[in-house]
Structure 1
Amino acid sequence: MKLDLERSLASMREQLASYCEKKKIEDAIVVGIHTGGVWVAEHLMSAVPTNEPLATLDITFYRDDFTKAGLNPKVNQTLLPAIEDRHVILVDDVLMSGRTIRAAMNEIFDFGRPASITLAILYDLGQHELPIAADIVGERLTLNPDQRVKLTGPQPLGFSVINTD
């Protein structure tokens, strides 16, 4: 599979700048989901009209599989400014089932009610289990059922397609 990470990120920046202009979004809050989403969001900040630093979200305790999986999680810090009536641009590396995004939105709403949430995803795998779709997509991928995308980083940012079997 031949993917061009830089081309995907450039496409996302272009889409995001155009989206914000079209929707008249100013001073948005860019929120990266730990960890891959934070790394991708760092590459998108220049395209977003904002004075806010990058915000981060750790959804570990909001996941619907947290208790089932018997996870021993590495918990990162959630850092969000006041979001009430603000435009939030939520960024993650991969959209697969939609469950991570659902958990992220649940956590965001625990902090307040944003004016809107725009979803920006580097790779959409099209295997959605929930009715969640990204507004900004770097690239849509079709993988075999036993394949996943693994982002590495933060410097340099890279990725690989791995087999789970």
Structure 2
Amino acid sequence: MTLVEELFTSQEYRRAPEPIGWDPLKEPDALDDAQLLDCRVCPTANRAALLFDMRGALFYPTGNSALLVVRGLQSFHWSGATQEKKLMAFSVTSSRPSGADADGFLLELEFFPDGEFSVSGVSADFYLLDAHGISEAPPSYPGHDLDQVRHDLPSWNSDATLLQSATTGGK
């Protein structure tokens, strides 16, 4: 087991016991219905990470969370309309990876409701995880604050088992 945070801060790609079935670093729409929970950018280490809730994801019957780490960060961009609700689930409706076998990596994501995101860098790693201590189903957001649902969500401090992984780094 490892902390999700350690996968972000690690200098090296960690190979899982199994390769990923649907590789979101290469296959369009592999992240359909995953929910983006949080993002981190570390200019000092030149990387970014996206933390996903995978409990509703279409192509992943195992794993309740995932982390995508982009190394050699070149760009990081979010756009979306201002939301009136305190909390919203942003579900992936389209994911378009490119450049996984070339000189760099680009991922473009579209979300419901009304969000677009893109990130690019030299390489990327994807980790499908089983975060321990969270509920079987995602929490209900309406009428709640983040502090009220946080215990039911994967987080950077989640202790997790690494189930499957993929990388563009050729390792």
- When normalised by structure 1's length, the TM-score is 0.30
User: Whose strand proportion is higher, 1 or 2?
Assistant: 2
Looking at secondary structure, tell me which structure has more helix per residue.
Answer: 1
